[in-house]
């Protein structure tokens, strides 16, 4: 987005309040799509087994700023924030960074270590902190896209290089990151440079300004080190005399596609924003918002619709303060294609942003860095998509003996937040048997007057203080040793953790 419009907001501590729906789907059976490294096929992204996947995620910025680390760690533990992203149903995190973090002397300057927060980040440099965030996100079933956002923490650049950070440094740093995360399938790819804009061109042939040619040079350099990564290529501002958002104009792809040495690795990325960022002519069109699908088709949607390549809307956001912005976001979410109708045959996306301190958009979190903007998050519910298999280490089912297979399961109940008048909890169901199960049922009895107010990824009945939760259609099947999650909200809080039982079939 137009970074000059960004302004930081102060953060203060407050209570955690998660939305209760969000449409998250979090089955973790062994055959859930997303395992291994990914590649493209036409307009879809496929996992290592050839199953289609949908990126449905969030931007968490800060590594590109003078803090040299994701923001919010001055208030919270990084694991609690990643867990919260997971609980809301986001399956991917885009991490903006600047080349400054590739310097071994660059250290974070805004992490709170009090009361045990972020304890395992103490003494680490910025890149080592990124390692921890990537590892924990992967363990939670989230994927990570690294976004080269700025040459240095001083600010955005129109081109991929500056006098202080030449192209050679840009490419060397991209290769260093590719090597660092090679073999870690939590990192699915790299966004080569954020929001190229005038004088950047597409297809003009001038090596100093042709972003398409630069993306080919950088993409091939990354793939020479780690051929399994996806290469995310943003648009420019102006093509053929037609201007749009920074990074949002991919009209040139039709005539000048990005050509890489490794096939099926290019994902095109557009950015799109509302009036809280800047005005555009289409917002004042008398047919707005009915005109918007045509606008998006022209700038980037045609790439998907013509089956040229996958399209990822790497940034979009708004404060939702105006009616125009509300209509814009509703129209865009519809254009991105609901998961319930189209599955992974859809546009990919990462919302801007998780952070509340993006001054012209705000975030999914409110200014206290814990409370969720449930209205904003609710707009995204229909395009959220399943989480992916954990890429963390540990866990896994053991082998059974020589007898016949038995359907069995266990359930672990965890309170993720409690603010007195209400609470949120998650239950992890694990197949403890020696064969796959097709359905499960979890039961518990509270000692107090708690009532379920909403549940996702399961259906429930409550009789008195006894609750019975049954799997949803998408997460009943669990392979031996695999697991599935469901969550719920309840009231009042303070009820503690009851004993739970699980039966499987």
Catalytic positions: 195, 315
Assess whether the previous peptide bond of 239 is cis (omega < 30° from 0): no
Quick one: the chain helix, strand, coil %, rounded to 5?
25, 25, 50
The full 3-state SS of 318-381, as one line of letters, equals: CCCCCHHHHHHHHHHHHHCCCHHHHCCCCCEEEECCCCCCCCCCCCCECCCCCEECHHHHHHCH
Q: Quickly count: other Cβ atoms within 10 Å of residue 100's Cβ.
A: 21
Contacts of 411 (CB under 8 A, 6+ apart): 427, 428, 429, 430, 442, 500, 501, 502
The rounded distance, in Å, linking the Cα atoms of 260 and 216 is: 6
Backbone angles phi, psi at 174, to 5 degrees: -60, -40
The rounded distance, in Å, linking the Cα atoms of 478 and 368 is: 38
DSSP class per residue in 418-482: E-SS-EEEEEEEEE-SSS-BS-EEEEEE-SS--EEEEEESEEEEEETTEEEEEE-TTSS-B-TT-
Residue 387 pairs in a beta bridge with: none
> Distance between alpha carbon 166 and the CA centroid of its chain, in Å?
30
């Amino acid at each position: 987005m137009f970074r000059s419009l960004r302004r930081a907001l102060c953060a203060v501590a407050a209570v955690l309040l998660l939305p209760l729906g969000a449409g998250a789907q979090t089955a973790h059976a062994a055959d859930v799509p997303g395992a291994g490294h990914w590649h493209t096929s036409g307009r879809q992204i496929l996992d290592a087994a050839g199953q289609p996947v949908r990126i449905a995620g969030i931007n968490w910025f800060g590594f590109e700023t003078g803090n040299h680390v994701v923001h919010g760690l001055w208030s919270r533990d990084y694991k609690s924030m990643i867990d919260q992203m997971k609980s809301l149903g986001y399956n991917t995190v885009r991490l903006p960074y600047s080349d400054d973090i590739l310097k071994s002397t660059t250290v974070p300057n805004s992490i709170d270590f009090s009361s045990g927060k972020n304890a395992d980040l103490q003494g680490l440099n910025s890149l080592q902190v990124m390692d921890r965030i990537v590892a924990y996100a992967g363990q939670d079933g989230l994927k990570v896209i690294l976004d080269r956002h700025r040459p240095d923490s001083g600010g955005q650049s129109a081109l991929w290089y500056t006098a202080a950070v030449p192209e050679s440094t840009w490419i060397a740093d991209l290769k260093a990151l590719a090597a660092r995360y090679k073999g870690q399938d939590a990192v699915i790819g790299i966004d080569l440079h954020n929001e190229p804009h005038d004088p950047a061109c597409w297809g003009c042939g001038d090596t100093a300004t042709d972003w398409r040619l630069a993306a080919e040079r950088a993409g091939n350099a990354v793939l020479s080190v780690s051929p399994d990564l996806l290469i995310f290529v943003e648009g420019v501002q102006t093509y053929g005399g037609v201007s749009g958002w920074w990074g949002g104009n991919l009209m040139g792809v039709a005539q000048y596609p990005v050509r890489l040495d490794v096939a099926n690795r290019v994902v095109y990325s557009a950015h799109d924003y509302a009036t809280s960022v800047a005005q555009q002519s289409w917002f004042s069109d008398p047919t707005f918002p009915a005109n918007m699908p045509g606008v998006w088709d022209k700038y980037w949607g045609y790439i998907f619709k013509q089956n040229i390549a996958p399209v990822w809307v790497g940034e979009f956001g708004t404060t939702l303060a105006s009616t125009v912005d509300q209509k814009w976001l509703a129209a865009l979410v519809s254009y991105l294609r609901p998961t319930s109708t189209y599955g992974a045959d859809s546009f990919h996306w990462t919302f801007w942003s998780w952070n509340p301190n993006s001054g012209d958009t705000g975030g999914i979190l409110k200014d206290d860095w814990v409370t969720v903007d449930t209205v904003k998050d609710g707009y995204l519910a229909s395009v959220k998509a399943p989480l992916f298999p954990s890429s963390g280490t540990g866990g896994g089912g053991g082998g059974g003996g020589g007898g016949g297979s038995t359907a069995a399961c266990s359930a672990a109940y965890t309170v993720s937040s409690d603010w007195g008048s209400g609470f949120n909890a998650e239950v992890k169901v694990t197949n403890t048997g020696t064969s796959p199960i097709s359905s499960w049922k979890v039961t518990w009895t509270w000692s107090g007057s708690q009532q379920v107010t909403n549940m996702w990824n399961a259906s429930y009945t409550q009789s008195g203080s006894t609750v019975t939760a049954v799997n949803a259609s998408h997460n009943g099947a669990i392979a031996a040793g695999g697991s599935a999650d469901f969550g719920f909200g309840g009231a009042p809080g303070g009820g503690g953790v009851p004993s739970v039982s699980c039966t499987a079939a």
